[in-house]
């Protein structure tokens, strides 16, 4: 009988909400009492440094390295992450053990009813190269400005008039119980790889923890996000590389769609396929290679494909 199980998390309201979701799922799966799952807040560099783009100060590892260290040291048993913040290549000794059922993958626009409704020259706050490129492709007149911080901070910037609008993940708003913004269709803005997914990492080789986490793993979410992360890995993308990818799984079949784009949105290379889940990993890698081959030298230069 497990007497204590420590879940590591960042301290933002959204991160805490996701950690509580994970704790509740574990308690329900294993019949734990309310005191078994303990949430441990770990301060990360990404939370502390808010005045610069993520890509300038170390990339996605800024959200994960302190949590990874706590796992390796045994201070926590698992770590809960927004999957789109997790590097495609995990630190040695860390494994991706489970994912919760995926939430809404779409974007919400805060500050206007639609992208078309934004005023000429509107200032859009975002730290995402993908979102900035997609916006500029649709509306070259829009001005994007770096905006980081938690959901409340970003929404407050719009409220105060410091920026005209921002884009936030619908999943995050829903998990916080925030009913705000206009939902952007996937056909208009393809999401980031792993958007809407919560993942749980653990120490490699810890069979007892792996077994506990397996009970809450949503297989379709895990497989879909793994394909999207495989696409990123095949591209050799970084935090500087504007990439969108979405896999949908139904009955063992996969529908996959992806885009790579220049930072100013003047070139977008898209691709897609439908296949069985068994064939999909190889097709993801082939699609990445084909899209880079078709891209201009300027677009190709944003990536460093493996091999």
Active site amino acids: 85
Which string of DSSP letters, residue by residue, matches 197-251? -EEEEEETT-HHHHHHHHTT--HHHHHHHHHHHHHHHHHT--TTS-EEEEEEEET
Other beta carbons within 10 Å of 7: 20
Tokens representing residue 301 in the block: 């230069």
Half-sphere exposure of 134 (CA within 13 A, CB side): 29
Measure the CA–CA gap between 227 and 248, rounded to whole angstroms.
10
SS3 state at 24: helix
Tokens representing residue 219 in the block: 């297989």
**Cβ–Cβ under 8 Å, residues 71 and 92:** no
């Amino acid at each position: 009988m497990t007497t204590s199980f420590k879940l590591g998390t960042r301290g933002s309201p959204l991160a805490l909400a996701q950690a509580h979701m994970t704790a509740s799922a574990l308690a329900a799966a294993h019949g734990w009492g309310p005191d078994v799952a303990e949430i441990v807040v770990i301060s990360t560099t990404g939370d502390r440094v808010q005045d610069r783009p993520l890509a300038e100060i170390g990339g996605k590892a800024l959200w994960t390295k302190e949590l990874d260290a706590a796992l390796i040291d045994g201070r926590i048993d698992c770590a809960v992450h927004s999957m789109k913040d997790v590097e495609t290549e995990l630190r040695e000794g860390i494994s991706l053990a489970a994912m919760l059922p995926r939430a809404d993958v779409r974007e919400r626009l805060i500050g206007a009813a639609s992208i078309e409704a934004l005023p000429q020259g509107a200032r859009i706050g975002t730290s995402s190269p993908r979102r900035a490129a997609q916006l500029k492709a649709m509306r070259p007149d829009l001005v994007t400005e770096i905006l980081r911080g938690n959901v409340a901070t970003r929404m407050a910037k719009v409220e105060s008039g410091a920026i005209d609008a921002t884009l936030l993940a619908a999943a995050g708003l829903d998990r916080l119980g925030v009913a705000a913004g206009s939902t952007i269709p996937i056909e208009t803005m393809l999401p980031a790889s792993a958007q809407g997914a919560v993942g749980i990492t653990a120490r490699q080789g810890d069979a007892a923890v792996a077994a506990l986490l397996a009970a809450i793993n949503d297989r379709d979410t895990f497989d879909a996000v793994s394909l999207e992360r495989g696409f990123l890995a095949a591209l050799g993308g970084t935090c500087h590389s504007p990439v969108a990818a979405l896999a949908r799984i139904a009955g063992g079949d996969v529908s996959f769609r992806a885009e790579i784009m220049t930072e100013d949105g003047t070139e977008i290379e898209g691709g897609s396929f439908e296949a069985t889940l068994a064939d999909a990993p190889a097709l993801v890698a082939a699609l990445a290679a084909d899209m880079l081959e078709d891209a201009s030298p300027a677009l190709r230069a944003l990536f460093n494909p493996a091999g």
